Amino acid sequence: MKGKVSDIVDKIIAFFEKERFNLLTLFVWIFVLFTIRLWTEAQLFNYPYKNFSYDYIFTYTHFIIFGYTVE
């Protein structure tokens, strides 16, 4: 009985270790495609974030990080 439980646990761990890279790759691709779409729309429709700068990115990153830490 103990051997069966450990085999099941080993199979579950092996599954997640095997699929972890696939899920990470999926999220990276989603992020890349989102960034390409965002940049393309900014160029086509002249959105205000068309000209990215460190100041612009830092401001919104700052709001997001401190927004989560305050809540």
pLDDT at 56: 59
Domain of 54, in residue numbers: 2-70
Measured at the alpha carbon of residue 58, what is the angle toward residues 57 and 61, in degrees to the nearest 5? 85
Residue type, 17: E
Q: Could you give the CA distance from residue 70 to residue 35 in angstroms, rounded to a whole number?
A: 28
Task: Name the residue among 50, 54, 28, 26 with its Cα closest to residue 40.
Answer: 50
pLDDT at 57: 59
Q: How confident is the model over 16-60, as pLDDT tens digits? A: 777 776 777 778 888 888 888 877 877 787 776 666 655 655 666
Please provide residue 9's backbone torsions phi and psi, each rounded to the nearest 5 degrees. Answer: -65, -40
Count of domains observed in the chain:
1
